[in-house]
């Protein structure tokens, strides 16, 4: 794998990359993978490496800025890592590319979302990922400590039939009083809550993962997160 340091500097911690690799490698129903947001190719190389290790599956990456903002550095990293044959780029915005994949009847057993981090785009990514994801497939999301992304993830947790893998996502709190209050609440909740918080802080960081239990339309009238 070319340039490990460059991949780590691209935005994901080493522990997050290891977890991402393991989530793909240990997928209970191995199939193709999809990612929203490619940038410098960190996650693409990791996902392709896991697909190669398990011996099946291709990766489709959605990134409208791969040429304009990243000078195709992500594609270059995938090529230099030897994964060009199992990778495809869709250079369109999420709100165009995802419906296109759905119309083409594509299915995926693993989806990784790390796209534009506004609430509306994050919710669009989750909405279409759910439609594209096989039952028992895995949905992983990065930067769930952002308020906008966290809010979209809370909708998923409350209103869609998914089972969380790993600890609950946690917001990054800048206020020391708020951080202290959260720590006290965890201590009062018992050792399990403290262990989850430690795993979130030291290993999972801002990565979260969920297994889809079944396909189900959200009931009408849902208006809270």
Beta bridge partners of residue 89, listed in sequence order: 61
Q: Which residue has the higher pLDDT, 190 or 210?
A: 210
Distance CA 144, CA 114 (A): 9
Hey, where are the domains in the chain? 4-172+206-212
Per-position DSSP letters for 135-151, written without gaps between them: EEEEEEES-TTSHHHHH
Q: How many residues are there in the chain?
A: 225
Report pTM: 0.90
- What is the domain class of 4-172+206-212 according to CATH? alpha beta
CB atoms near residue 189 (< 10 Å):
12
- Separation between Cα atoms, residue 11 and residue 115, nearest integer Å: 12
pLDDT at 181 over 60: no
Write down the pLDDT at residue 1: 38
Q: What is the pLDDT of residue 191?
A: 74
- Residue 155, both tokens: 């909708």
Q: For residue 7, what pLDDT is reported? A: 47
Q: How far is CA 115 from the centre of its chain?
A: 9
Query: What tens digit of pLDDT does each residue of 118-157 get?
Result: 999 999 999 999 999 999 999 999 999 999 999 999 999 9
């Amino acid at each position: 794998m070319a340039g490990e340091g460059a991949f780590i500097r691209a935005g994901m911690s080493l522990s997050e990359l290891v977890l991402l690799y393991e989530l793909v490698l240990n997928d209970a129903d191995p199939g193709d993978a999809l990612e929203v947001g490619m940038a410098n190719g960190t996650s693409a190389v990791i996902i392709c490496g896991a697909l190669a290790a398990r011996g099946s599956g291709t990766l489709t990456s959605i990134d409208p800025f791969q040429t304009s903002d990243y000078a195709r550095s992500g594609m270059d990293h995938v090529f230099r890592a030897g994964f060009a044959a199992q990778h495809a780029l869709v250079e369109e915005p999420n709100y165009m590319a995802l419906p296109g994949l759905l119309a083409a009847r594509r299915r995926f057993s693993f989806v990784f979302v790390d796209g534009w981090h506004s609430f509306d785009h994050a919710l669009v990514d989750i909405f279409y990922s759910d439609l594209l994801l096989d039952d028992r497939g895995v949905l992983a999301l990065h930067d769930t400590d952002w308020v906008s992304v966290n809010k979209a993830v809370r909708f998923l947790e409350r209103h869609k039939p998914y089972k969380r893998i790993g600890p609950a996502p946690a917001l990054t709190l800048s206020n020391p009083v708020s951080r202290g209050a959260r720590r006290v609440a965890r201590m009062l909740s018992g050792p399990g809550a403290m262990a989850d918080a430690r795993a979130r802080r030291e290993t999972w960081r801002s990565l979260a993962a969920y297994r889809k239990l079944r396909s189900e339309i959200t009931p009408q009238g849902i208006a809270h997160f």
